[in-house]
Structure 1
Amino acid sequence: MDLQTKEGLSYLASTLGTPLHTDQDFSNLFKSDIVNVCVQVDFSKPLLNELKLDINGETTLIEVVYSWKPSYCESCKGWDHHEIACAVKRPEKKWVPKPVSTTSILV
C-alpha cells in the first residue's frame, strides 16, 4: 500500500482511532515530513507515541504527536480530570500522635 495517498494516510491514522480529516490539501500533503490528521481516539486504550511499520522487511518508525490531550489521572488511570479532583476514594490520611517517651534520667 502506498502510504503517501489518502487511503494510505487513512490506514495509518486508523491505527490510532477513527480518522476524521486532515487540515491540508491532499495535492500538497506529503511535500513535508509532517502531516496533520484529526483522529477521534478511544481513551480506554493507550495512546501510541509511535507507529512501527514493516516496509519491504525494513522497520520504519513514525512519530505520533498529539496537539492536545485531556488531563490524565494516575490514581484511577482515567482521563479528563487531575488526581486532585479524582472521585475514586483514596485512603484517608489520619493524624496519629506519637507515643510519649517515658525514659528516666538518673541524676
Structure 2
Amino acid sequence: MATAIGKPLYTDNFTASIERISYARILVETDVSQPLIDSIEIVTPSGTFQQPVEYEWRPSFCTDCMKFRHNVEKCWAK
C-alpha cells in the first residue's frame, strides 16, 4: 500500500514485526509537486473499500511558483 503513495523508505519495528495491526507507520518519499493522496482503494474478495491515509506532516508547497514555505492561497507571486 505504501508504494501507492510513493517510495517506501523505512518502517517502525511494530509494523515490521506485525505486532501492532491497528495501523502501520511507514516513512515514504513523495513528490511534493504532486497532490498527496487521502485514501487508497483496496479490492478484496468481499468487495472494495477506501483506506484513509494519514500524514504526520505535510510540507507547505506552492504548486503555482513551485516553492516551499507557503501554499497556493498565500502565494505572493500571483
TM superposition score category, shorter chain reference: 0.7 to 0.9
Aligned position for 2:52: 63
Aligned to 1:99: none
Q: How many residues align?
A: 74
> How far apart, CA to CA, are the structure 2 residues paired with 1:54 and 1:37?
21
Counterpart of 2:69, as a letter, is H
CA 1:30–1:46: 2 relative to 1, 3 Å: farther
Aligned to 1:44: 33
Q: Is the 8 A contact 1:21 1:38 kept in 2?
A: yes
Match of 1:81 in 2: 69
**Who wins on radius of gyration, i.e. which is larger?**
1
Q: Larger relative contact order (C-alpha < 8 A, sep ≥ 6)?
A: 2
Spell out, residue by residue over 1:22-50, the C-alpha distance to the aligned partner (whole angstroms, 9 max, x if none): 012422x2533111000000112210111
Structure 2: 5+ residue stretches without partners = none
Relative to the length of structure 1, the TM-score reads: 0.57
Tell me if the contact between 1:72 and 1:79 (Cα under 8 Å) persists in the aligned partners.
yes
Could you say what the CA RMSD is over the residues aligned between the two structures, in angstroms?
2.3
Q: Which among 11, 14, 17 is matched to residue 6 of structure 2?
A: 17
Q: 1:14 is paired with a residue of what secondary structure?
A: helix
How much does 1:77 deviate?
A: 6.8
Q: Structure 1: which 4+ aligned runs deviate by more than 6 Å?
A: none
Q: Which runs of 5+ in 1 are unaligned?
A: 1-11, 91-107
